[in-house]
Amino acid sequence: MTTADVRRGGTPVYLTLRMKPPWVFIDEIRRFVESFCACAGTTDNREAQLALAVHELMQNAVPNSHDDDVELTLEVEPEADRVAVAVTNRCTEAEYHALEERVARMNGEPDALRHYLQAMHDTPTAQRGGLGLARVRFEAQLELSVSRAGGRMTVHASGRLRPAPLQTSGGSR
């Protein structure tokens, strides 16, 4: 099957990756996902948005994986106008509940841009991290949820493959 066949027929494509967590591969995974999405028939901007989402979720998972495998699943379903990303890593119960609460707070704000701007305001500039999930929700236009099974947590990010143009205070993006 060729790239043209995938684009024309709307054939769903899936990527699954499992890795031991060295940081050095995260940027390479981002580039690979962008290329994978191009072959799956997404638009240039959507390729970058999905690569950003994977990058941010992997950056969160790798340092919190307790030196266990991190799993990435990416599903692109052109005919259903759907995309889903799932990143799974080992976690403690406390880590899961902290993230579950954070995602619930974030989803409690219906305006993703407002939440993102508030997160930028609340995160000290000297502190690394704290904005990744908000970036995924706003910039990649994906809804977030979290689940846990067998001592492993999965962050799910899903949405439309072809979302409406991103609306910002200065117009659309």
Do the beta carbons of residue 139 and residue 170 sit within 8 Å? no
Q: Is the pLDDT of residue 8 over 60?
A: no
> Residue 173 domain-assigned?
no
Structure tokens at 24: 């050095």
Structure tokens at 65: 């994986």
Q: What is the pTM of this model?
A: 0.88
Residue 43's pLDDT is 78
Report which DSSP code applies to 150.
T
Confidence of residue 133 (pLDDT cuts 50, 70, 90): very high
Domain span holding position 46: 3-160
CATH number of 72's domain? 3.30.565.10
> Residue 169 domain-assigned?
no
Q: Which of 66, 73, 100, 74 is nearest to 88 (CA)?
A: 73
Say how far apart CA 65 and CA 151 lie, in whole Å.
11
3-state secondary structure 71-136: EEEEEEECCCCEEEEEEEEECCHHHHHHHHHHHHHHHHCCCHHHHHHHHHHHCCCCCCCCCHHHHH
Q: Count of domains in the chain?
A: 1
Average pLDDT of the chain is 88
Confidence of residue 1 (pLDDT cuts 50, 70, 90): low
